Structure 1
Amino acid sequence: MNYRSQVRDSQVRELTDRVSKNKYEHYLKRMDLNRLRGLEDTSIQFDFPVTAIVGPNGSGKSTVLGAAALTSTAFKPSQFFAKAGKYDETMRNWSVEYELIKPADTRSKTHPRGKTSSMTASYRQSKWNRNAINRPAKLIGISRTIPAAEKKNLSSFQRKAFKAKYENPLTAETRQAVERILGKDATDYIKVSNDPNSSQPLIGTDKAIFARTLSKDSKIGYSQFHFGAGEASIISIVEEIETAGDGALILIEEIENGLHPVATKRLVEYLIDVARRKSAQILFTTHSNDALAPLPYDAVWSVANGKLSQGSLDVASLRALTGEDVTSCVVFTEDEFSKALAKETLRRLRMQDADGKSYKVDMNQVEIHGVGGEGNVIKFTETSNSRPDRKYPVLGLLDGDQKQYKRENPSLKFRDQTFRALRYGPGQHGPEEEIYKAVLDSFSTANTSVSLLTVALLGNSDGQKFVREKVDEIWRTNSEPHLLYSRLGEVLGFLDEELVTHAFLARWCELHQDESEAIWEGSFEALPWQPIDEEYIPSMG
């Protein structure tokens, strides 16, 4: 079931427009990482004020956070890039270039509000050189999920006679956010402290601890020592953010750590609200698809093989890109529809050997991933196949409108088998409209076509006239190809988009078998085959 975010499209457009028009007092717009740890000659731009960094372990996600932190005087470079004497000689010549919005200088006409400036941070002669800006900033690390009983700085709170001098409720903003994220009442959460200056104490410090009263009548309560990891983590994150100044740079490590998937999504929705309400800019790392669900496409960046790529990717596709947890073959596609097209056409593909024995593709040995656009398909396919240590062939399926792609597309070899890495979908346009129109046109040439489609959609042949009229109506009134199948599903009785898509793909493959097979022509050697109705025999062993 597709996740529906509580963040409205208008809010996303508002924030995106605000970034594009530089309507911020502080804002980091772009980083060019010339050389920083394993990242080299790669860039990231921040088109949305909440940005997710995804990637496998050790890929460089935390390095991106550290690079952003170098722009603020609130952080010392050693918090992210400490040097261990002679063992860190690789730090030599590290450098990052930035484009950012600095506070307007009212005394100068050369730097008005909304004007971007450049900045450089470099490691030269055993020290960092940077012209950082005075911007409020917070780092929310993974230590937030350490149980309170294991935190040494909370040991004084474990005494039997402990009683705090000051007790304060959560602020209204913090309480409301905690309630939305955790789905429970937070009215009776309190903050306790012995420090009168700690008006906004933080979880995990030696000045304060959160406690919750279970019943106002009985006054029976429990402390942070008995919180769940997710409960403590959410309160910690929200309290840190709400006490940060407006326009703050907020960096969060592994946002999903200790959280239920639903809480993870709600937390990211809260961050989007913070970006709007407090003009904050937030970067977080994650391994979770749930954390990506509320974000627009441009707000997600992946790190793999020393490079950064923009676009909302499934986390599993990054494992495939780096060679983790894969089977015999990987296929990268532009989006979810192309992914469904690849699956349906590969499932129907057949091949005969010289002895007349028939084979089909072993779909259990193929991973298919939508990677967000033709640019990523081309880059990921070429990068993967160029690696000398690759353990499997990679194919890229581009939409039909990319057939004029002019860059060299050479034949590649894998285990002495030659194949073409880049393939193309049907027609000269996107596959959504090509396949929809082809099925619609078949209604006038094949008497059984509308009947078969009706059965696939409704489960029986009744309502053929209704289906035919609605298929034609959506084609004539729709202006966005990506909405063809969801809109048709709605007018046919709120059918699931996936069901409608599969019905059209199956019908198109039956009507255009040659064209369906031609998608993979030249790449058969890269596919894992198994004899039909016989035990699987690897074709590339």
Structure 2
Amino acid sequence: MNLELSDLLQSLNAINANHQLKNYIDLIQFPFYRNLELNSRINFDFPFTVFVGPNGSGKSSTLHALYGAPEGQTPYDFWFDTAVDPIKYYSDEKKRHSFFYSYKDQNGANLEVVKARIRRSGNPNYWETSRPLKWAGMRPIPDDEDRERNPPIKKNVIYLDFRSELSAFDKYFYFREPTHLKSRNKQEYLRRKSKQLQKVFLGTTQIVHGPHQSWQNKTLKNLTEEEIKAISFILGREYVSGKIVEHKFFTDWGFSVKFKTNLASYSEAFAGSGEVAIVKLITEINEAPNYSLILLDEPEVSLHPGAQHRLKLYLLDQIKRKKHQIILSTHSPTLIEDLPKEAIKVFYQNLSSGRFKIDQDRTYKEAFYHLELPNPEKYEIIVEDVLSKKILEAVIQSLGHGAVSTIEVKFFPGGSSIIKTDFLKVYSQNDNTTRFIVLDGDEKKVDRHVNPDSLTDAEKTEEILSELIKSQTGIKISFHPNSYDEGGQVEGKIDLMLRYLKYYNECVYYLPAQQPEEIIWNRDYAESILGVRDDKEEVWDEVESEENFKSKFYILKKALFDTDEKIDNLYSMFIKQWVNKKDDNFESIVNLINRIRNH
């Protein structure tokens, strides 16, 4: 089994774009549900979705809701009230616990379905579909439709919680004490009862009957060749064969497995818990019909990072093959690493309300922040002046803690010419750079950067490349390769120039105005902060007559403050109102930051 992450992600993007995912839950929204922020919403824009966040932040609760969404399913299987933990039927605003989701039917119509917790006599935890909740933003059903509510989605559901997926042996050994007079201790009990299990594994007995002819086990399953290959791939070990059986030989229902490798044959009593959990996962998914909804709660439990990575590849491959929708919760950086932002949903607490919010489209590096992991690679943005730095930092701050934790803006004195002649030549030698350059808008000399991959061999000469670089940067830049480079001076210089153009094309951006002062300038705000001073008209006339935005700020500063240092205070005032306003320039810089984050 040879799988590459980039190829799988590309295939899933194509499957998604071509609408090959049938009976697919497009979104789920929670008007009032458990401890989630009111009206929390999740869009499933990618068929592999990962919930990330600290313990107790609502990830499992959300999986339970998704489990209860299809026809015949209910969240009651996991969430119900008791005398110790009663559940309020209504919020303070008289809203029931409920959620609604959207899917497309076989005709392509977009249907919204709500499930709500209803008080019923004798069944206090009953969930049922209801009419659309207009107060929650659901669309009303058209008058010409002969129904009050939409039918729930019909979808096979698999839910596996890997914190509880223990083998029958582990369940008894770790959580039971012998209560049978025939056994002095748990070891003796397991040794005695395993004789029945061995008969089933050997095939000499198919079904063992207990008191009143009750079945003590289900039919033995021999793992298929495909399942053995998948288990071997994920665990990084060559298995020859395997068997699995559900039984209650050890008091409670559970499952046992027996493995065979080239070196040994052994059961779950000697296997690692990760091995047993993977067998359960593989058999469940392999037997699932196409277009199933597969929900996995912390599948990384007992798996080392290498196995976690291969598990991710396996799950993505299963979506490619069988068009499943797979949603999992995790604390594993390995499972979220290199996934597209559409796949990642971050859960965290809103400190003001105490409820848990869900952020969408966070990069995997930002998700590391919410897992309280050190970020292995911070993006670094180099700018040419202090005000540009302040503007970018303000936008990054507005994007939340995840962006702040992954992006650092640095100002280096010397201006754009030093950045172009010195910094870019160094940065362009690193193929895996996380450094980007954002220049002021007046440094944009051409509408589009040169893509060296589009050049012909005939164009890759020192003269032509030098001219392309000059027209793009506005200055002549000299390149001095190491004289010992293979291919000699000329070939080495051409390689440096091509690398420079490649870096410039991929990692150099511009602010959306000629000067950073122009970005944050606000005429009405400027006039308002002059107040009712006696010389306001005179100062304002001077400001209005000046076309240079940097000069406008200095005129305003001179009128308001005594010292030059106060210009930073004035910039901060304008930046704050600009961020609140969120004009086109603001959105342009947000897009710029997002392109860098997704690089």
- Both proteins in one fold, TM over 0.5: yes
* Residue of structure 1 in register with 2:79 after alignment: 81
Per-residue CA deviations over 1:216-246 (Å, capped at 9, x if unaligned) read: 9xxx621111111211121111111112222
Q: Which one-letter code corresponds to 1:70 in the other structure?
A: G
Give the Cα separation in 1 of the matches to 2:443 and 2:311: 35
Given the alignment, which residue of 314, 319, 323 partners 1:270? Answer: 314
Any residues of structure 2 matched to 1:68-467 within 5 Å, and which? 68-73=66-71, 75-85=73-83, 87-90=85-88, 92=90, 93-102=96-105, 104=106, 112=107, 114-125=108-119, 127-130=126-129, 132-146=152-166, 148-152=168-172, 158=191, 159-162=193-196, 163-164=199-200, 165-166=205-206, 168-192=221-245, 206=253, 208-214=255-261, 221-293=265-337, 295-305=339-349, 306-314=356-364, 317-318=366-367, 320=369, 339-341=378-380, 378-381=398-401, 425-428=438-441, 450=479, 466=491
Instruction: Indicate conservation of the 8 Å contact 2:166/2:273, yes or no.
Output: yes
* Residue of structure 2 in register with 1:499 after alignment: none
Change in 2 beyond 3 A, CA 1:174/1:394? closer
Q: Which one-letter code corresponds to 2:12 in the other structure?
A: L
User: How far is the alpha carbon of 1:95 from its aligned partner?
Assistant: 2.4
Any residues of structure 2 matched to 1:479-518 within 5 Å, and which? 481=506
Instruction: Indicate conservation of the 8 Å contact 1:53/1:61, yes or no.
Output: yes
Question: 1:225 is paired with a residue of what secondary structure?
Answer: coil
Give the Cα separation in 1 of the matches to 2:301 and 2:70: 26
Give the Cα separation in 1 of the matches to 2:23 and 2:164: 27
Q: Which one-letter code corresponds to 2:259 in the other structure?
A: R
User: How far is the alpha carbon of 1:291 from its aligned partner?
Assistant: 0.5
* Residue of structure 1 in register with 2:59 after alignment: 61
Instruction: Indicate conservation of the 8 Å contact 2:379/2:407, yes or no.
Output: no
Change in 2 beyond 3 A, CA 1:254/1:480? farther
Give the Cα separation in 2 of the matches to 1:292 and 1:429: 39
Per-residue CA deviations over 1:404-423 (Å, capped at 9, x if unaligned) read: xxxxxxxxxxxxxxxxxxxx
Change in 2 beyond 3 A, CA 1:319/1:275? closer
Structure number with larger C-alpha Rg: 2
Q: Which one-letter code corresponds to 1:232 in the other structure?
A: V
Q: Could you tell me the percent identity over the aligned residues?
A: 21
Per-residue CA deviations over 1:293-333 (Å, capped at 9, x if unaligned) read: 36333212111232222335447x457569x689xxxxx9x
Give the Cα separation in 2 of the matches to 1:483 and 1:257: 42
Is there any run of 5+ residues in structure 1 with no aligned partner, and where? 105-111, 196-203, 327-331, 350-369, 385-392, 401-423, 485-517, 524-541
* Residue of structure 1 in register with 2:147 after alignment: none
User: How far is the alpha carbon of 1:115 from its aligned partner?
Assistant: 3.2
* Residue of structure 2 in register with 1:364 after alignment: none
User: How far is the alpha carbon of 1:150 from its aligned partner?
Assistant: 2.9
Q: Which one-letter code corresponds to 1:79 in the other structure?
A: D
Per-residue CA deviations over 1:411-454 (Å, capped at 9, x if unaligned) read: xxxxxxxxxxxxx95434999x89x99xx66999698x745xx6
Deviation larger for 465-474 or 282-291: 465-474
Instruction: Indicate conservation of the 8 Å contact 1:74/1:136, yes or no.
Output: no
Give the Cα separation in 2 of the matches to 1:232 and 1:376: 45
Instruction: Indicate conservation of the 8 Å contact 2:319/2:325, yes or no.
Output: yes
Q: Which one-letter code corresponds to 2:28 in the other structure?
A: M
Q: Which one-letter code corresponds to 2:276 in the other structure?
A: A
User: How far is the alpha carbon of 1:139 from its aligned partner?
Assistant: 0.6
Question: 2:314 is paired with a residue of what secondary structure?
Answer: helix
Deviation larger for 74-83 or 84-93: 84-93
Change in 2 beyond 3 A, CA 1:23/1:124? same
Question: 2:329 is paired with a residue of what secondary structure?
Answer: strand
* Residue of structure 2 in register with 1:497 after alignment: none
User: So what's the TM-score if we normalise by structure 2?
Assistant: 0.54
Q: Which one-letter code corresponds to 1:34 in the other structure?
A: P
Instruction: Indicate conservation of the 8 Å contact 1:144/1:236, yes or no.
Output: no
1:32 aligns with 2:29: yes
Deviation larger for 122-131 or 27-36: 122-131
Change in 2 beyond 3 A, CA 1:463/1:65? farther
Is there any run of 5+ residues in structure 2 with no aligned partner, and where? 91-95, 130-150, 177-185, 207-219, 350-355, 387-392, 412-436, 453-464, 510-567, 574-599
Give the Cα separation in 1 of the matches to 2:231 and 2:113: 37
Give the Cα separation in 1 of the matches to 2:333 and 2:297: 15
Give the Cα separation in 1 of the matches to 2:500 and 2:112: 49
Per-residue CA deviations over 1:148-195 (Å, capped at 9, x if unaligned) read: 433149998752532212454311221121111112222222235689
1:22 aligns with 2:19: yes
Question: 2:317 is paired with a residue of what secondary structure?
Answer: helix
Question: 2:240 is paired with a residue of what secondary structure?
Answer: coil
Q: Which one-letter code corresponds to 1:341 in the other structure?
A: E
